[in-house]
Amino acid sequence: MTDQPLAGQLALVTGASRGIGAATAMALAAKGAHVVLTARTAKALEAVEQAIFDAGGSATIAPLDLTQTDSIAKLATAIGERWQALDVMVLNAGMLGSLAPVNAIEPKEFAAVLTLNVSAQVALISAFDAMLRKSAAGKVIGITSSVGATPRAYWGAYGASKAAFDTLIGAYGDETADISKLRTAIIDPGATRTAMRAKAYPGEDPASVKPPERVAARVVALAVEGFGPGHRERVD
């Protein structure tokens, strides 16, 4: 591992046990960052951590349920006791929920989608804000979906959660742009080979869409190169 522009930096990736999150964590580690991996499944996180170790990188796993906001605060405290600054935070964890017409959205499931896709993201930003501002160039990169910007039939619940997510990330970026080095970006991964995509499109040939590594490569490029206020892009 000779090309390490992120050496000495700390990154946090949510939903890092598989898909885009796992690929991003491994790519960040390959560029020299120490990566904190979070997801609910410890065994899957351990597999990603081992892959990072095998490639010569460094990582720490932190299994937790992001819907339990107390666990986010405890994670921030633990990380803050070991490191002073957080350089990159990739907000990737999310829940699809059931695809259904708006008049048939099940309230309890909708509440669960909003809790993970919106409330937990607010809690993460709040918990790590101080560490992000201590970075020489803190970056928050949120993984979104096109349905957050363009409504689509049967995607109302998930789309609404992503619209709220996008607004929160954008607002946070506006609030910090003139008073800190912190920058925020929103990345729409487009059609990508993930478990969520397979659930939404069960008849689709996985080989017909791009692998998560392509999205991860773009996220890491942004982490290395930086970006201006209000950055948003789609990975095709």
Q: At what angle do helices 19-30 and 42-54 cross, to 10 degrees?
A: 30
Residue 22 CA to residue 52 CA, distance in Å, equals 10
Active site residue 154: no
Alpha helices per DSSP H over 3-84:
19-30, 42-54, 69-82
Run of H or E including 90: strand 88-91
Angle at 205 between CA 102 and CA 146, to 5 degrees: 40
Please tell me the distance from the alpha carbon of residue 69 to that of residue 229, in angstroms, as a whole number.
28
> In the structure encoding, which two tokens stand for residue 41, read together?
């499944």
**What is the enclosing helix (H) or strand (E) of 180?**
none
Say which of 154, 158, 172, 201 is annotated catalytic.
Answer: 158
Lookup: tokens for 190: 């487009």
Helix axes 19-30, 212-225, angle to 10 degrees: 40
Residues labelled as active-site residues: 158
